[in-house]
Amino acid sequence: MGRTPCCDKNGLKKGPWTTEEDHKLTSYIQLHGPGNWRTLPKNAGLQRCGKSCRLRWTNYLRPDIKRGRFTFEEEETIIQLHSILGNKWSAIAARLPGRTDNEIKNYWNTHIRKRLLRNGIDPVTHAPRLDLLDLSAILGNALCHVNPAAGTQSPPSLLNPELLRIAAALASLKQENPELYHQQQQNLTDSQTTPSQLIQLQQADLERFLELNNNNDNNSGSQVSGQDNFASLPNDFGFWNTIPELSENCRSFQSCGAGLSGNNNGNGSDWYQSSLISGGGGNIGNADSSVISTPLSSPAQVTPTSSNFVNGSLSASTTTEDERESYCSSLLKFEIPESLELLDDFM
DNA sequence: AATTTAACCAACCGCCGAGCG
DNA sequence: GCGCTCGGCGGTTGGTTAAAT
């Protein structure tokens, strides 16, 4: 036969714990250790189920529990771990000393999850909510048909971040200038470019732009805004030249109070990263601003700068909720590959 | 000041794998 | 080997508090 039931549920108290019950449980565990949860309530003089005692201890009374607001670093860690582990709250909690799985789960559901949804990011996949943007049609037209000769080629994965960037740029272009969008779509078709070639072109252009940005910073000795650098792009830039409207989009960042903060510091990818995801010049959020509110529409929106960007993270002491919101968007999108190194630990 | 709505979070519920008898 | 419980986990509920009307 198996064990006898852990407790007879009849007559056992439920609901919030009183301070007296907390004291009894804490005193007993400090003297004897948790031991067997089944027999603990009786020995400790509690009218509770052992399971209830265990939950109260592990989630609330344990002396090593850190109470209070989550720090920015903790929040950052939760997001990165969640992108890898999903809803494995206990696994996430194991990497956040002093925090319980229950606490992390609550914080995720009440704060982080809502914030991601507001930013148009799917809290499950950590990818932009393409379903809200009608991007499938855009991708279908602009990418899958880019090279008719490669007719048997599989459609590109929607989770490919580079494709997502391109899709967002195309979405913005379609929104702001449908005529030009169709013109560029035709250009792409005529150029016989495959989706993978398109991605390579874009990456190559970005690298060249960043290199140019660094050179300008070094040569002039003064800070050159990404906006100025973008204006200086040579005419033969492949991808950007293919969709010249993109440069206009980037120039509009500043008027939106976002993106180009005039502080690239040789890390010109800041504006690039934040734009398409947070809804700046690329303005992925424009597709439906009622669903995806763009923090960039607020003048208070801040792109991480040297003053509040410390050791690769926003300084917790100077960040506002909006800043966290903005930073978390770019963090999710572009630091996941780095965090994948953690996978080794879980294998 | 009273009422309604939203946010928060502790606690419960139910499922599952491991292990006991 | 089987039946059962324990301990752990993730999802959900509902009471409390704060904010808005």
Reported as a single tens digit per residue, the pLDDT across A40-81 is: 888 888 888 888 888 888 888 888 888 778 888 888 888 888
**Of A147 and A60, which is predicted with more confidence?**
A60
Question: Taking a C-beta distance cutoff of 8 angstroms, is the pair A275, A309 a contact?
Answer: no
- The pLDDT value recorded for residue A125 is 80
Query: Dihedral through CA A28, CA A29, CA A33, CA A38, nearest 10?
Result: 80
- The pLDDT value recorded for residue A276 is 28
Note the maximum CA span of chain A.
83
Give start and end residues of each alpha helix (H) in chain A: 19-32, 40-44, 50-56, 72-85, 89-93, 101-107, 113-118, 135-142, 161-176, 178-190, 195-220, 226-231, 238-242, 245-255, 269-278, 321-334, 336-339, 343-346
pLDDT mean over A196-224: 42
Question: Taking a C-beta distance cutoff of 8 angstroms, is the pair A274, A303 a contact?
Answer: yes
Nearest CA to A87 among A139, A126, A136, A140?
A126
Q: Integer distance in angstroms from CA A59 to C1' B1?
A: 38
pLDDT mean over A110-138: 70
CA pair distance A120, A277, nearest whole angstrom: 8
Kind and range of the H or E run holding A309: strand A309-310
pLDDT score of A145 more than 80 = no
Question: Tell me: the pLDDT tens digits for A261-302?
Answer: 223 332 323 322 333 233 333 333 332 333 322 222 222 232
**Of A261 and A194, which is predicted with more confidence?**
A194
* Residue-wise burial string across A57-71, b where 16 or more C-beta atoms lie within 10 A, e elsewhere: beeebeeeeeeeebe
CA pair distance A81, A259, nearest whole angstrom: 27
- Fold observed for domain A20-61: Arc Repressor Mutant, subunit A (1.10.10)
Q: Which CATH architecture has domain A69-118+304-347?
A: Orthogonal Bundle (1.10)
Q: Integer distance in angstroms from CA A237 to C1' C4?
A: 70
A310 pairs with which residues across the strands?
A: A313
Dihedral over Cα of A334, A193, A174, A230: its sign? positive
pLDDT mean over A244-264: 31
- Lowest-pLDDT range of A52-61, A150-159, A176-185, A263-272: A263-272
Structure tokens at A129: 């909510």
Give start and end residues of each alpha helix (H) in A57-194: 72-85, 89-93, 101-107, 113-118, 135-142, 161-176, 178-190
**Of A193 and A272, which is predicted with more confidence?**
A193
**Of A14 and A143, which is predicted with more confidence?**
A14
CA pair distance A187, A142, nearest whole angstrom: 10
pLDDT score of A163 more than 60 = no
Q: Which residues touch strand C (CB under 7 A)?
A: A 1-7, 15-16, 36-38, 50-51, 54-55, 58, 87-91, 101-102, 105-106, 109
CA pair distance A164, A65, nearest whole angstrom: 40
Q: Integer distance in angstroms from CA A125 to C1' C13?
A: 26
CA pair distance A52, A17, nearest whole angstrom: 10
pLDDT score of A105 more than 60 = yes
Calculate the average pLDDT of chain A: 55
Nucleotide nearest to A51 (CA to C1'): C7
- The pLDDT value recorded for residue A180 is 55
Q: Integer distance in angstroms from CA A101 to C1' C11?
A: 13
**Of A15 and A308, which is predicted with more confidence?**
A15
Q: Integer distance in angstroms from CA A1 to C1' C2?
A: 9
CA pair distance A278, A308, nearest whole angstrom: 18
pLDDT score of A30 more than 80 = yes
The protein footprint on chain B, as nucleotides within 7 A of a CB, is 7-14, 19-21
* C6: residue with closest CA to C1': A6
- Within chain A, which residue ranges are assigned CATH 1.10.10.60? 69-118+304-347
